[in-house]
Structure 1
């Protein structure tokens, strides 16, 4: 893992390949490994970067005085692009929707294209039942670590209030241990997660900031999972209609984490998008 030094602290990121940069994001209580099954299926000729955002599964705690609310985390993503001097970036959003707000913050100059998998958007912050339960647990003394321990019990994490609505197929124990270990052992990581979950989510502000994407002129792939219960299917269509150069596609049968449920289908769509074709192509 490489490390980028930002005003808020140090961010780890995994990097592979050479070419135009593709930045793949992840969600709350997850890390870059959510893309492990898709990454080997993506085409050569691109530089793939997977940052580990301070969303509870990161291994390096941020500075104690760092602002980690939603707007600040959006700015942190922009700071990362600046620190690495990335240009002509393809952003791939998944689960966490804060990266969508770069346009609203006026910091999307380095972003050329975006792929939007099921993620928070409009007023869906925190998203659905699992998002609301995670936010409640993080605000409750001892709640975040209690929830992390429940994640490690296979049958419990399949419940709708944990990961049952996030992934169709069971997530391997090894992956879950990697996601939960930093939170269970590091008080700084716990502090960071609680700082983010204390964000005041104002419905009208969230909608307005999402709708700022109407001014994003780059190509966009909205790759939604219509069968999930956490990120409303209507939001996928709405996002595609909002951006002038967006194409809408679906991953049937998958839930929010389509890269885990249907990695080959996700890779097909992303490959076509990265190569500039109008639809899915054969895997490389």
Structure 2
């Protein structure tokens, strides 16, 4: 996959198709492959862009901690590098925080957004600091099983479907994971997100142990005119455990706003 050579960072990305752009921003500890099951289910005639956050996948790993402003700026500079304007930005969990920050900063880049399993604020800073400290001391393996329990339903795990994603989490660079924990812990977008008026779809999973549906709905209520959709029997990563439902919701949103 190509690398975008930004002034101080190389970002790994994938760019396929032509037409109106849809940009995908992944969850903490994963990479752009998180969207693999969704993309083939989307309509033709779209430019589909995915990228790895700093510290993740094939992107560079600066020393932690990271600021959310830097992660938003990474997305901004990537889209400028690719000549993208007026995209629909799809962000899940950490990617949803990036989406909110980018929409506030650069409305010329984002004409609509999908916020999946995310919130204007996720947890509290001390929680994220403790998680980063645990990874520094014991590695990502120390929190892998608890993360799987928060991410996926009991049925999904009982059938072993979580195992490839556990392996991908373990492949995440610990410094990158710690850096992103700091970014999440330091972010409170309640006030800026409440100022947004662009078309927005907000998605929650009924069995999400990381960003429960009530928290996600609270963020939807901040944005004037936002649509909210609950995906039942789905956890924190519906792009993985319910890709057909996720793709259907995304396609419906794209059609409603005239992006496809």
Equivalents in 2 of 1:14, 1:135: separation in Å?
Answer: 28
Residue pairs, 1:97-176, within 5 angstroms: 97-99=96-98, 100-104=100-104, 106-124=105-123, 134-138=131-135, 140-141=136-137, 143-147=138-142, 151=144, 157=145, 161-168=146-153, 169-170=156-157, 171-176=161-166
User: TM-score normalised to the size of structure 2?
Assistant: 0.84
2:227 equivalent to 1:247: yes
Structure 2: 5+ residue stretches without partners: none
RMSD after superposition: 2.8
| Equivalent runs, 1:204-223 vs 2, <5 Å | 206=188, 209-223=189-203
SS in 1 for 2:240: helix
Aligned length: 251
How much does 1:51 deviate?
0.4
* Contact map agreement 2:32 2:57 (CA 8 A) in 1: no
Cα deviations by residue, 1:223-253 (Å, 9 ceiling, x for unpaired): 1123323213223222222212311111011
Give structure 1 stretches of 5+ with no counterpart: 152-156, 184-189, 279-284
Distance, in Å, in 2 between the alignment partners of 1:95 and 1:49 is: 18
- The separation in 1 between residues aligned to 2:185 and 2:162, in whole angstroms, is 32
TM-score norm. by structure 1 comes to 0.77
Partner Cα distance (2:30, 2:184) in 1: 22
